[in-house]
């Protein structure tokens, strides 16, 4: 989604903002713009459709400078991705600008009202109305101020834009009055040429962070945009408004009541948000998975006792014991993790689990028992649908737990506890390391639930914890052994029009994830199916052009896993009998499967519930290499955004 960077400080403003926007490119965007003020030229604006290089070219051709400014990368919602629709947007005077992430739902009604009052709109966007609303608030305040001074305003009939420089309320007060009029979701940054060295920011919905440096202050829509300048971050909460000046940051609610900044020290290393020699962030992040998994178990498992520790939860062991259900809500890849988590929790803790698309949850009037525990799975912690599902769960009386990669994000603030996935910042739009870290966190949670509910023995715990600790090095083995093979497979299959991904049981969510990775970055149509469903319809698709990626792994020590594997072999034969081209994911040493299929990718053996973490790695690499061969923008696929902060 849109990126915002604002800066006040001694450094040259334009490079700080442009560099910040570059570091937020992963969020996805289709135009960019910047406004700076504070020098004799007044407020200056540069915008361009397309990527940041276009904006840089515009700035190079027509340089600007100032002492404070804001920039924006726009992911189009209202209006096409053109130069005029790019942010920042101006009021009628051109002396006040707004950048915005989110959607103003009542913008049409507001636009009619403002048009009737003389405002002239020059764009198709919802954002522009915010600039005009602020302008109007300033004008109204100026007018009332004059009337209160006993001078009947001769200018009261003048168009509002002539009154902007005669304000008698500060910019932040006008912003406060404005946000009360907006419905929908917004994170905004506002500056006015009439109030030098001041940035105003407000949030209701989409994320925004304030960075506190040494004599310099930042606004951004996400931490990586400013992390190379400061690690001291205040995550703006819904209903908060911040005023940034060269002397510091003041915080209030939307009614002007003072609030305290809650500064968090971000531990992420800024280097983690760089490509580190890899061609793409996605490839780097795929290769970071061993560390992400290891860090997600760190301090949470004891290899001596098999015990699992989940700290800082406001959900007691008693509540876990008495829980009637776990209600999972998540989106996209995180939803796939939730589906796999259902198998882990139900099998180990014998506790029923429901998994919903967060975007559907609140609209189905869910029947939820207050003794059910809500579980939100989200990489960003800022996904609008997931936040809405969490609020629905809370409204139904449930406690909520988050599995999240961003400490301090919206979901974690509202949850009664968070299991942090310590994957580090994920920049590639297609989620990889966050997914395997989520699977790891879910396994840890399933073990914890099983231990407090007494559904597994100490010996079983010990064995599973030991197996979990071996997963990072097994993922390292997979990365080493399958990358070349995935490159070769990409050579063969990158021209396919469709792909099928099949799996059974806990492997089915991994089939879904393999299909999602492929479609989002290579734009090849792909579907994931439970292997046993093929004969109920999808078999009709099979012909000699269709690659069918089938997850056919097993834990030889687990009879139910072996049974599923045997059923999957039958499904493979149904595909090959119809000339479908099978790529099987199988465990090392499985010679039988090699005779049945065209291609086999082997992964190390592991317990059934941990196999998904290993299986997904070749699927990520296959999608990656196919997308690269097709010349796709791997890190920023078309039409997608990293953090989906609108419904």
- Tally Cβ neighbours within 10 Å of residue 269: 12
Rg (CA), the chain: 27
Closest distance of CB 635 from ligand F6R, Å: 11
Positions 320 through 339 that interact with ligand F6R (CB under 6 A): 331-334
Q: Is 404 a catalytic residue?
A: no
Q: Please list the residues that pair with 73 across neighbouring strands.
A: 3, 32
With CB under 6 A as the contact rule, the residue among 93, 230, 289, 380 that binds ligand F6R is 380
**Which lies closer to ligand F6R via its Cβ, residue 375 or residue 430?**
430
Closest distance of CB 527 from ligand F6R, Å: 16
Residue 383 touching ligand F6R (CB under 6 A): yes
Q: Please list the residues that pair with 243 across neighbouring strands.
A: 200, 250
Can you read off the two tokens belonging to residue 420?
């942090």
Residue 379 touching ligand F6R (CB under 6 A): yes
Residue 520 touching ligand F6R (CB under 6 A): yes
CB 571 within 8 A of CB 538: no
535 contact partners, CB below 8 Å, separation of at least 6? 574
With CB under 6 A as the contact rule, the residue among 402, 644, 645, 646 that binds ligand F6R is 644
Which H or E run includes 564? helix 559-576
> Comparing C-alpha atoms, which of 5, 97, 15, 3 is closest to residue 63?
15
Residue 431 touching ligand F6R (CB under 6 A): yes
Alpha helices in 46-170 (DSSP H): 52-61, 107-116, 128-148
CB 463 within 8 A of CB 301: no
Token look-up 């420089």 returns 165
CA pair distance 406, 420, nearest whole angstrom:
7
Half-sphere exposure of 259 (CA within 13 A, CB side): 19
CB 366 within 8 A of CB 392: yes
- Tally Cβ neighbours within 10 Å of residue 463: 15
Residue 378 touching ligand F6R (CB under 6 A): yes
Residue 430 touching ligand F6R (CB under 6 A): yes
Closest distance of CB 515 from ligand F6R, Å: 11
Q: Is 51 a catalytic residue?
A: no
**Which lies closer to ligand F6R via its Cβ, residue 38 or residue 428?**
428
**Which lies closer to ligand F6R via its Cβ, residue 331 or residue 465?**
331
Closest distance of CB 643 from ligand F6R, Å: 6
Beta strands in 566-633 (DSSP E): 581-587, 599-603
CB 613 within 8 A of CB 436: yes
Residue 359 touching ligand F6R (CB under 6 A): no
Binding residues with ligand F6R: total (CB under 6 A): 15
Out of 2, 331, 404, 632, the active site residue is: 2
Residue 414 touching ligand F6R (CB under 6 A): no
Positions 488 through 517 that interact with ligand F6R (CB under 6 A): 516
**Which lies closer to ligand F6R via its Cβ, residue 378 or residue 568?**
378
Closest distance of CB 406 from ligand F6R, Å: 8
Closest distance of CB 578 from ligand F6R, Å: 31
**Which lies closer to ligand F6R via its Cβ, residue 561 or residue 643?**
643
Closest distance of CB 513 from ligand F6R, Å: 8
With CB under 6 A as the contact rule, the residue among 125, 167, 386, 550 that binds ligand F6R is 386
Query: How big is the CA angle at 70 (ends 64 and 71), to the nearest 5 degrees?
Result: 85
**Which lies closer to ligand F6R via its Cβ, residue 216 or residue 238?**
238
**Nearest 10 degrees: CA dihedral of 84, 85, 89, 92?**
60
Token look-up 């291609």 returns 599
Residue nearest to ligand F6R (CB): 332
CA pair distance 521, 28, nearest whole angstrom:
13
Positions 254 through 293 that interact with ligand F6R (CB under 6 A): none
**Which lies closer to ligand F6R via its Cβ, residue 4 or residue 70?**
4
**Which lies closer to ligand F6R via its Cβ, residue 90 or residue 519?**
519
CA pair distance 127, 646, nearest whole angstrom:
14
Closest distance of CB 520 from ligand F6R, Å: 6
Give the binding range for ligand F6R (CB under 6 A) out of 94-102, 219-227, 373-381, 472-480.
373-381
Positions 98 through 157 that interact with ligand F6R (CB under 6 A): none
Token look-up 């404070």 returns 68
Token look-up 């994320």 returns 207
- Residues in contact with ligand F6R by the rule CB under 6 A: 331-334, 378-380, 383, 386, 430-431, 516, 520, 643-644
Catalytic residues: 2, 642
């Amino acid at each position: 989604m849109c990126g915002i960077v604002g800066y006040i400080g001694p450094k040259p403003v334009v490079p700080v903002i442009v560099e910040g926007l570059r570091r937020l490119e992963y969020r996805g965007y289709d135009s960019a713009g910047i406004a700076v003020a504070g020098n004799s030229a007044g407020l200056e604006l540069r915008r361009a459709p397309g990527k940041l290089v276009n904006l840089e070219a515009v700035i190079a051709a027509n340089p600007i400078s100032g002492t404070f400014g804001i920039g924006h990368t726009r992911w189009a919602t209202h209006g096409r991705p053109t130069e005029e629709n790019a942010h920042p947007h101006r009021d009628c005077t051109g002396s006040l600008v707004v950048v915005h992430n989110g959607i103003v739902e009542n913008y049409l009604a507001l636009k009619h009202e403002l048009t009737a009052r003389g405002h002239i709109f020059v764009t198709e966007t919802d954002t522009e109305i915010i600039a005009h609303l602020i302008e109007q608030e300033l004008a109204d305040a100026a007018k009332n101020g004059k009337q209160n001074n006993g001078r009947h305003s001769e200018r009261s009939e003048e168009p509002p834009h002539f009154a902007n420089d005669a304000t008698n309320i500060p910019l932040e007060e006008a912003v406060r009055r404005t946000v009360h009029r907006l419905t929908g979701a917004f994170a905004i940054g506002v500056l006015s040429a009439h109030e030098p060295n001041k940035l105003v920011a407000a949030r209701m919905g989409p994320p925004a962070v304030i960075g506190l440096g040494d004599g310099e202050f930042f606004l951004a829509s996400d931490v990586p945009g400013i992390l190379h300048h400061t690690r001291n971050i205040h995550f703006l909460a819904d209903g908060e408004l911040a005023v940034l000046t060269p002397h510091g940051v003041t915080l209030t609610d939307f009614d002007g009541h003072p609030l305290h900044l809650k500064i968090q020290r971000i531990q992420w290393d800024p280097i983690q948000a760089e490509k580190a020699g890899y061609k793409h962030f996605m490839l780097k992040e795929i290769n970071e998975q061993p560390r992400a998994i290891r860090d997600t178990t760190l301090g949470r498992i004891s290899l001596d006792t098999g015990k699992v520790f989940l700290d800082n939860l406001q959900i007691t062991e008693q509540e876990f014991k008495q829980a009637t259900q776990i209600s999972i809500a998540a989106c996209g890849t995180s939803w796939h993790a939730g589906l796999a988590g259902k198998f882990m929790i139900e099998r180990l803790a014998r506790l029923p689990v429901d998994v919903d698309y967060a975007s559907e949850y609140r609209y189905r009037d869910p029947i939820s028992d207050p003794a059910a525990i809500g579980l939100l799975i989200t990489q960003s912690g800022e996904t609008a649908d997931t936040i809405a599902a969490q609020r629905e769960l809370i409204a139904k009386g449930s406690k909520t737990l988050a599995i999240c990669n961003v400490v301090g994000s919206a979901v974690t603030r509202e949850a009664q506890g968070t299991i942090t996935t310590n994957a580090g910042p994920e920049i590639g739009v297609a989620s990889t390391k966050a997914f395997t870290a989520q699977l790891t966190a879910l396994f840890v949670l399933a073990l914890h639930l099983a231990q407090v509910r007494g559904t597994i023995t100490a010996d079983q715990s010990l064995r599973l914890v030991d197996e979990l600790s071996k997963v990072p090095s097994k993922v390292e083995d997979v990365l080493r052994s399958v990358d070349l093979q995935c490159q070769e497979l990409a050579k063969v299959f990158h021209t396919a029009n469709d792909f099928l991904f099949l799996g059974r049981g806990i492997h089915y969510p991994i089939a879904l994830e393999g299909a999602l990775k492929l479609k989002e970055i290579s734009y090849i149509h792909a579907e994931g199916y439970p292997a046993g469903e093929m004969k109920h319809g999808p078999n009709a698709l099979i012909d000699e052009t269709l690659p069918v990626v089938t997850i056919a792994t097993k834990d030889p020590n687990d009879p139910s896993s072996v049974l599923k594997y045997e059923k999957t072999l039958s499904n493979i034969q149904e595909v090959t009998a119809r000339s479908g081209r099978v790529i099987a994911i199988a465990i090392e040493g499985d010679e039988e499967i090699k005779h049945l299929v065209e291609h086999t990718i082997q992964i190390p053996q592991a317990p059934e519930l941990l196999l998904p973490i290993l299986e997904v790695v070749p699927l990520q690499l296959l999608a990656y290499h196919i997308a690269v061969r097709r010349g796709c923008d791997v890190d920023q696929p078309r039409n997608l955004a990293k953090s989906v902060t609108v419904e």
